[in-house]
Structure 1
Amino acid sequence: MKIPPYILLVLATLLWGGNFVIGRAVSGAIPPLTLAFLRWCVAFIIFFPIAFRQLKREWPILKNHWFIVIILSLTGVTAFNTLVYIGLHYTTSINASLMNSSTPIMIYILSFIFLKEKLSKYQLIGTVLSLSGVAFIIMGGSFTRIVNFTFNKGDLIVIAAVFCWSVYSLLIKLYATRLPGSLPF
C-alpha cells in the first residue's frame, strides 16, 4: 500500500510538532538526555526491521564514510533532540516551535556562507512569509509586544538546537551528492 505524499507531509508535521508538545509535557518528569535516548530507542525498534536490508547492502559505504556518519548522528540526532528537550525545561512548546521555524533561514545563511549558494526568489518569499507568520504569532496583534519580546534561556538553547540541525542539513546537502549508492540520508 502506497501512502499519498500529502498524508505523509501531514503526518511528519504532526510528529515533529508533537515532539515539542510531548517534550514540554514530560520535562519535569523525564530528564532531557533520558528522553532523547528513549525516543531514539523507540525509533530504532520501529525502523530497524524496515531499514535492515538497505543498511546491510549499504554498510560498506557507511563504513568508508564513518566520520561524516558520526558527525551527522551527533548534529542531527543527538545534539538537536537533546538540546530541544533541555530547552523545553525553560520555555514553552510554542516558543520552541517558533524558534524552530527559523531553521530554513539558518540553513540559507549557512549555505550562503559555506556553499556560496544564492537565495532564489521563492526562498526569499518563503522566508518573508515565514518570518511574518512568526512575528504575527509573537505580537498577538500588538506591535508593542514585539518590541518587548525577550529570549529566555530555553529559547536560546532551542536556537542552539536549530543551529545543530542546520549544520546537519548543510552536511546532508554537501555529502548526499558525493557519496555513492542510495543512502537513506
Structure 2
Amino acid sequence: MHPDEARPKTDSATPTAYTIAVLCWLLSAGVYIAAKWVGPEMPPWTLCFARLLIACAILLPFVRHHYGTMIALLRSRAIELIIVGALGLAFCQGLIYTGLNFTDATTAGIIMALTPVMTVVLAHFVLGETLGLWKALGALLALIGMMVIVGHGDISALLRLEFNLGELFIVAGALCFAIYTVLLRRAKFGLELMPLLVLLLAAGALTALPFFLWELLSGKHSALETNGLLALAYVAGPGGALMYYLYNHSVESLGAGRASMMLYLQTIFIAVLAYLLLGESLHGYDLAGAAFIVAGLGLAAIKTKPPRADKAAQAG
C-alpha cells in the first residue's frame, strides 16, 4: 500500500468513499484473524508466499493496459522494486504471521498501530521531514506503550530484557512497513497505484519464495483442511486483492492523509473480531500500552502553525 503515489481528489470525499475505506480496514483486520486461525495448519512464510502470489495473479489481468510501462519500470529499477516489495509485503507479513504463533491477534493489532509514528520518525532521518516537538513526544509515548505491551506491564521483565518473542516479531513487522512507506515516498516510481501494487506483490512473492522453500524442505508442510483452505482463500481474495483495490480507491477518493489515518480502525476491528471469533480478550497491559500509543498518536497529529510570512522573509 503506497499512499505517496496518489493524486487525491478532494471533491470525491463522499460518504461512499469513507464506507469503502472502512470496509478496506475491516477486510485487513480479518487477515490477522485468519492468519491466527490457520497457524496450526500452515507455516507463516508459506501463508505469506501464497497470499502474495495469489493476490498478484488475481490483480494482474486488471492492469493489462499498463504492461508496457510496468515492463519499462522493471527494466530500469528492478532492484529498487524488489527491495521495497520485500520490506513492505514479504518481510512485514512474514514476521507478523510468525509472531501470531506466539501472541494474540489483539496484541498484534495494537502494536501495528505504531506504524504511523515509526514512519514519522524514519521520514525525519531519511527524507529530512520536520519532526517537531509534538511528534517527538508522541513517538516517545508510543514507544513506551510498545514496551508496556512487549514486557506485559512488568518493568522488571524489561530490565532483564525478557520479552515475548511473538510480540518482538510483530514490532519488527511494523518497523518493516514503516521503512517500506518511507522508501516508497523516496523512490517516486511514477507509476499508477494498481500496476505498481502488482509489481510490488510480485517482488514480495519472489522474496518470500526462499523462505517458503525452506519451510517445505525442513518438513514444515501445510496440512490444509477445510478451515485452512477457507483462511487461505480469504487472505488472498477478500483480504488480499480486494482489500488492496479498496485501499487504492480510498487513497484516490480521500487523499493519502485521510485514507492512511483510517488505519487505526484496523486495531479496533481486530480486537472485536478476535473476541467474537477467537475468544481472545484484552489484557491489562494491552489497555495500558494502547493508552500510551493513542496519546502518542494524538500528539504526533498536532499541527504546528507555519511561520508568519514576514518573519520568514526576515529570516531569508
How far apart are the structure 2 equivalents of 1:15 and 1:183? 19
Show the counterpart of 1:112. Answer: 124
| 1:86 maps to 2:98 | yes
How many Å apart are 1:57 and its aligned residue? 3.1
Show the counterpart of 2:178. Answer: 166
How many Å apart are 1:183 and its aligned residue? 5.7
Stretches of 4+ aligned residues off by more than 6 angstroms: none
How far apart are the structure 1 equivalents of 2:69 and 2:128? 34
Show the counterpart of 1:21. Answer: 33
Q: Deviations over 1:84-114 (max 9, x none)?
A: 1101000110111111110011111111111
How far apart are the structure 2 equivalents of 1:102 and 1:181? 28
How far apart are the structure 1 equivalents of 2:190 and 2:63? 18
How far apart are the structure 2 equivalents of 1:183 and 1:16? 18
Give the partner amino acid of 2:181.
S
| 1:51 maps to 2:63 | yes
- Equivalent position SS for 2:75: helix
How far apart are the structure 1 equivalents of 2:125 and 2:97? 29
Show the counterpart of 2:22. Answer: 10
TM norm structure 1? 0.78
How far apart are the structure 2 equivalents of 1:21 and 1:183? 27
Unaligned runs of 5+ in 1: 139-144
Match of 1:68 among 80, 101, 108: 80
Show the counterpart of 2:114. Answer: 102
Give the partner amino acid of 1:153.
L
Q: Deviations over 1:21-51 (max 9, x none)?
A: 1111111111101111121132123211112
Percent identical across equivalent pairs? 26
Bigger Rg, which one: 2
Unaligned runs of 5+ in 2: 1-14, 197-316
How far apart are the structure 2 equivalents of 1:9 and 1:183? 16
- Equivalent position SS for 1:117: coil
How many Å apart are 1:73 and its aligned residue? 1.5
How far apart are the structure 2 equivalents of 1:106 and 1:60? 32
Show the counterpart of 2:166. Answer: 154
Show the counterpart of 1:38. Answer: 50
How far apart are the structure 1 equivalents of 2:87 and 2:110? 20
Which of 147-156 and 99-108 deviates more?
A: 147-156
Q: Deviations over 1:148-180 (max 9, x none)?
A: 69741100001111111111101111112xx34
Q: Is the 8 A contact 2:92 2:177 kept in 1?
A: yes
Give the partner amino acid of 1:51.
V
How many Å apart are 1:79 and its aligned residue? 0.5
How far apart are the structure 1 equivalents of 2:192 and 2:52? 23
| RMSD over equivalenced CA pairs, Å | 3.1
Q: Alignment length, in residue pairs?
A: 172
